[in-house]
Every structure is written in C-alpha cells, then in structure tokens.
C-alpha cells in the first residue's frame, strides 16, 4: 500500500475495521438513488426493494448453513445481535429460569449485557478458560441446572484467535434443553460455520468483519426458538427487529456473505501462511516474546503476541510512525484504563498483559507487508526496552 | 509527539545523587528519574519509563525542564508545567503525565535525604 507521502503504509488492524470489498460497494450503489423504496410498501417501488432484500437474506443464510432464510434477522451490528440474543431469550424465558452461562473472555457487548441482566434478576456464571483460552466442557456441563436458560460462547475470540469446541457445546446445550448462542462476529467468513451441524440456536454476525459495510449485522434465530424483541415498533424482521430496513447496507452484507462463502477456503489457506510467517518471524527474532492464544486452533488472520518489559501503546505509536497500523490491549489504550480481560483470563500477569500486540490480517495483506513488519518491529522493541526501567540490567535486548 | 519520537535524556546515572521511582506496572506506568546535583543545581537528569506515549513524552519533557534548575526551582515544577510545555495533553492522559512530576520530586527527596544522612553536622 503506497501513499501518505513516500512512506509505506501497512494495515494490520482488520479486527477494528475492514475496508469494504469493491464488489460490495458496487452492489450497494443503486440502492441509494435508483431503488430506494420501503420494502413494506405495496407498490412496485417497495416490491423491488423487498425482492432485493430477500435475496440478500438468502445469501447470509447460505453462508452459515441456515435452513430457512427467515431465520436471519438483520440488526445494526454484532453488538445489537448479542444484546438481542441474551436479553431476548432472558425476558422471554423468565418463567423457565434465570440462569445464564457464558465465559470470561466474551466480547464486551456480551459481558456488559450479562452484567445488566444480573442487575435485573438473572444469575450469570462466567466460565474460566485455560492458558489458550479454551473452556472446559466438563465444567460447563456441571454448571447447567434446571434454571439455566441460555449458554453463550463465542465461536472464536477476536483478540487471541482461539477457536472454541462449539459443536460439543451445542450438543450439551441441546441434550439439556438450553438455548445455545454463539457470538460468531470474529469467525464468520473466516472459518466455515454450519448452524445445523453445530447445534447452534442463535448466532451473531457482523457485516464489517467480512468486508461488508459498517452498521449492519444479523442474528440467526433457529426456527421455533422464541425471543422477545428489544426494539419495538412496526414489527419488521418477523417482529424481532422493528424499523424500516437498511436496504443498501443489507444488500452490501448479502454480497459480502456471498463473496466470503466462495472465497473462504482459499483465503483461509493464504492467510494462515502469512499469519504463521509473522508469528514465527517475531518469536524467532525478538527475545522474550510470546504467543497469546492457541498456536494452531486459531483464526487464520490472528496474530497476538506479548513482549516483556514494554508497554503496548508506545509500541503501537512507534509502529504507526513507520506506517504500520496495529492494535494493543494495554490499559492505557482502553476506556476503562484496565488491561485486557481476555489476557488476564488466560493467566497472563498484569505487567505482561501491558505489552501486547494484535495484528489482524486480511485479503489486502501480502508477503511484503509481513516482511516489512518483521524488519521494523525488532528495532522498536529494542528501543523501548532500552527506555524501560523494567528491563533487567543484564538482558541482551 | 516530538518528545515521544525523540525522547531526550533516556538512561540511568550510575552514580546518581538522587533516584525517584513512581507508579506501578499494574496500571501500565512506571517511571524512574535519576539526578546529578552540583552546587545545588541539577546538572544532569535522566529517565527510564515503562508506559504509553504520554508517559514517555512527559518524562522526556520533565528532564528538559529540570536540567540546570536549582533544587528549589525543580521542586516547583508541577504536572501542569509539563503538560503546558507539551502544548497540552488529553484529559485521559493527564493521569500518565502526573508520574513525571512525581518521579522528579521523588528523586529530589531522595537526594535531600541522602544529603542529610551523609552530612549530619550541616
């Protein structure tokens, strides 16, 4: 990637935001000025919008193996989908029970929704995870009681990349008559998902995470599963999500889902190679660097490392000065001034959790990008270690 | 940003007259300031920092502000002075910058304590 003066620019923060695929942008374009009708209108302008909307819905359903397209409910994104899944099931099933099981490493939208439900009469169990970020299936089973109404476990963690044993969890949930919700925002379009085979009742998806537009997502709701809506109004999306549908964005998401479905396998192979080259290159050339998350059972696009004795924000700013966009989860960079709850949950001590680096790859990244990072990073780490009072005096940086 | 890009006075002073270490890595920051004093003036000031951009910039800035000043003048340097010298810091970063002034003052306190112990008759 060139531009920004003569400096090379490399983007490795796809978990935060992705560029929209040009084919997606092209698909969306007519739906602003040429086909703008309200899909609920009876006339031809409404019908043509409705037709396009339903085609997009089918594409999203196909990506995740949903049997019926009506099982796809469009929302404003992953956060709303997670809110709808948890609150929707909780409020609807209050008579059956008030116990929710989730994990300590869920996305903040799941955790904060759980905290909110705790203040409103629900009990939540937050399962611990091992050093790689995987949950203990036996422990999960033990926690299920006759008051348990929903289990919520993310497909894969967007920060450390570790993929959960979803099919096994789904089977347990099914055997126990408990709803199973999966936050698949980080995984959709990157690894194959089949909601039927994996016994999933509810699945959260985000458009931007698969190169679609921002501000749109979906919640898959298996036929027969009952939820209460959290947004009331005209009853769109089968009564579960009122509001005039965001047709251009939905079209974009549909196209993104179709592209992901077609290109996932090859993309997965290519990204895995680049991912591993980055991981090995850094571990081999920078002392006191460690991988966070499972080495192989991880998302193909995720590189998360930590470096002793240095702090993440300073690392990111230095990389930015060299044109490299990356992310960290140190305390200084979070709104709450707390280090990453995920890194703490996998047993990393506070000080070590501060020196984290998250690189998330995508389509636009190539071998040159990877080589550039491998060239630049060691020098930055060395410089920061020279400045740090925590670096042991006899350390060869 | 300039002080972050090219921090001044990084390092330690092995035979420092005063050392101040503040902060703790739990909240992401730890700063050490080393001073050399002659005739009541700070003739050399160095720092080491484990912390974010603002932490590094403010510790660099404070070493510049403190060098050449008398003990009394250096004790008067506040968190505000450091932030102003850097042309302002975002509110969420003021917390990081507080450490710089505190570390300098701690180093001076350390020097004064050592001086009092070393020359009991003065």
What are the DSSP calls for B8-26, one per residue?
SSBS--TT-SEEEEEEETT
Phi and psi for B7 in degrees, rounded to 5?
Answer: -65, 140
pLDDT per position in chain A (397 positions), as tens? Answer: 444 456 789 999 999 999 999 999 999 999 999 999 999 999 999 999 999 999 999 999 999 999 999 999 999 999 999 999 999 999 999 999 999 999 999 999 999 999 999 999 999 999 999 999 999 999 999 999 999 999 999 999 999 999 999 999 999 999 999 999 999 999 999 999 999 999 999 999 999 999 999 999 999 999 999 999 999 999 999 999 999 999 999 999 999 999 999 999 999 999 999 999 999 999 999 999 999 999 999 999 999 999 999 999 899 999 999 999 999 987 666 767 788 999 999 999 988 998 999 999 999 999 999 999 999 999 999 999 999 988 988 877 6
Cβ contact (<8 Å) for A387 and B10?
yes
- Whether residue A249 contacts residue A207, with contact meaning beta carbons closer than 8 Å, is answered with yes
Q: In this predicted structure, what is the pLDDT of residue A339?
A: 85
Q: Are A377 and B52 in contact (CB under 8 A)?
A: no
CATH class of A22-260: alpha beta
Contacts of B69 (CB under 8 A, 6+ apart): B41, B42, B77
Q: What is the dihedral of CA A305, A308, A313, A319, to 10 degrees?
A: -60
CB B5 within 8 Å of CB A321: yes
- Rounded to two decimals, the ipTM of the complex is 0.75
**Cα–Cα distance for residue pair B57/B97, rounded to 1 Å:** 8
Per-residue model confidence as pLDDT tens for chain B (122 residues):
777 888 889 999 989 999 999 986 556 688 999 999 999 999 999 999 988 888 888 888 899 999 999 999 999 988 888 888 888 777 767 776 778 889 999 999 999 998 888 754 44
Statement: B2-115 belongs to CATH 3.90.1010.10: yes
Task: State the architecture of A10-19+263-387 in CATH terms.
Answer: Alpha-Beta Complex (3.90)
Q: Which residues of A touch B31 (CB under 8 A)?
A: 389
Determine whether the interchain pair A332/B30 forms a contact, defined as Cβ–Cβ distance below 8 Å: no
CB contact under 8 A, B31 and A389: yes
- Would you kindly state where each structural domain of chain A is located, as residue ranges? 10-19+263-387, 22-260
Are B54 and B95 in contact by the 8 Å Cβ rule? The answer is: no
Nearest chain A alpha carbon to B5: A318
Q: Does the beta carbon of B29 lie under 8 angstroms from any beta carbon of chain A?
A: yes
Q: Which sign does the torsion angle of CA A163, A168, A172, A173 carry?
A: positive
For B87-113, b where at least 16 C-beta lie within 10 A, e where not — what string?
Answer: eebeeebbbbbbbbbbbbbbbbebbee
Q: How far is CA B60 from the centre of its chain?
A: 8
**What's the first-to-final CA gap in chain B, in angstroms?**
44
Nearest by Cα to A219 from A233, A230, A232, A211: A230
Q: Which of A283, A332, A387, A395 is catalytic?
A: A332
The dihedral through the CA atoms of A322, A323, A329, A332 has a sign that is positive
Can you tell me the distance from the alpha carbon of A44 to that of A47, in angstroms, rounded to the nearest whole number?
Answer: 5
Cβ proximity of A86 and A100 under 8 Å: yes
Domains A10-19+263-387 and A22-260 belong to one CATH topology: no
pLDDT of residue B26: 56
A387 touching B, CB under 8 A?
A: yes
Q: Cα separation of B113 and A242, whole Å?
A: 70
Contact assignment for B25 to A339 by CB distance below 8 Å: no
Q: pTM for the complete prediction? A: 0.90
| pLDDT value at residue A179 | 98
A309 with A378: CB under 8 angstroms? no
* A388, A376 Cβ separation under 8 angstroms: no
């Amino acid at each position: 990637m060139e531009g920004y003066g003569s400096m090379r620019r490399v983007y490795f923060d796809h978990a935060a935001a992705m560029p929209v695929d040009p084919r997606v942008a092209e698909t969306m374009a007519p739906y602003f000025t040429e086909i703008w009708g309200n899909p609920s209108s009876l006339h031809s302008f409404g019908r043509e919008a409705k037709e396009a909307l339903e085609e997009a819905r089918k594409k999203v359903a196909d990506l995740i193996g949903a049997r019926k397209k009506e099982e796809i409910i469009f929302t404003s994104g992953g956060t709303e989908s997670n809110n709808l899944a948890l609150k929707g099931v909780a409020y609807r099933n209050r008579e059956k029970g008030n116990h929710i099981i989730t994990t300590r490493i869920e996305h903040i939208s799941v955790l904060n929704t759980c905290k909110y439900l705790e203040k409103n009469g629900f009990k939540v169990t937050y399962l611990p995870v091992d050093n790689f970020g995987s949950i203990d299936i036996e422990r999960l089973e033990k926690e299920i009681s006759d008051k348990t109404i929903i289990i919520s476990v993310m497909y894969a963690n967007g920060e450390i990349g570790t993929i959960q044993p979803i099919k096994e969890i789904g089977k347990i949930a099914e055997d126990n008559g408990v709803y199973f919700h999966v936050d698949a925002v980080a995984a959709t379009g990157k690894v194959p998902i089949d909601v039927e085979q994996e016994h999933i009742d509810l699945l959260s998806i985000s458009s931007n995470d698969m190169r679609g537009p921002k501000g749109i997502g979906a919640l898959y709701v298996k036929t027969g599963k009952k939820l209460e809506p959290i947004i009331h109004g005209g009853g769109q999306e089968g009564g579960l999500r009122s509001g005039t549908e965001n047709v251009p964005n939905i079209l974009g998401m549909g196209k993104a889902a179709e592209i992901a479905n077609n290109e996932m396998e090859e993309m997965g192979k290519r990204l895995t190679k680049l991912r591993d080259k980055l991981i090995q290159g850094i571990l081999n050339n920078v002392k006191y660097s460690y991988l966070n998350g499972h080495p192989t059972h991880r998302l193909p696009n995720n590189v998360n490392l930590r470096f002793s004795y240095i702090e993440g924000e300073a690392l990111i700013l230095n990389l930015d000065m060299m044109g490299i966009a990356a992310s960290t989860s140190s305390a200084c960079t979070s709104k709450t001034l707390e280090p990453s709850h995920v890194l703490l949950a996998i047993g990393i001590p506070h000080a070590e959790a501060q020196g984290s680096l998250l690189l998330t790859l995508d389509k636009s990244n190539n071998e040159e990008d990877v080589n550039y990072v491998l060239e630049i990073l060691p020098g930055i780490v060395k410089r920061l270690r020279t400045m740090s009072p925590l670096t042991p005096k006899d350390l060869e940086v | 940003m300039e002080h972050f890009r090219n921090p001044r006075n990084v390092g330690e002073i092995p035979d420092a007259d005063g050392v101040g270490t503040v902060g703790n890595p739990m909240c992401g920051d730890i700063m050490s300031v080393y001073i050399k004093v002659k005739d009541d003036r700070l003739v050399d000031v160095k720092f080491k920092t484990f912390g974010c951009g603002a932490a590094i910039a403010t510790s660099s800035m404070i070493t510049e502000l403190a060098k050449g000043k008398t003990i009394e003048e250096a004790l008067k340097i506040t968190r505000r002075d450091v932030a102003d010298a850097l042309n302002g810091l975002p509110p969420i970063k003021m917390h990081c910058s507080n450490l710089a002034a505190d570390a300098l003052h701690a180093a001076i306190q350390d020097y004064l304590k050592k001086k009092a112990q070393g020359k009991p008759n003065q």
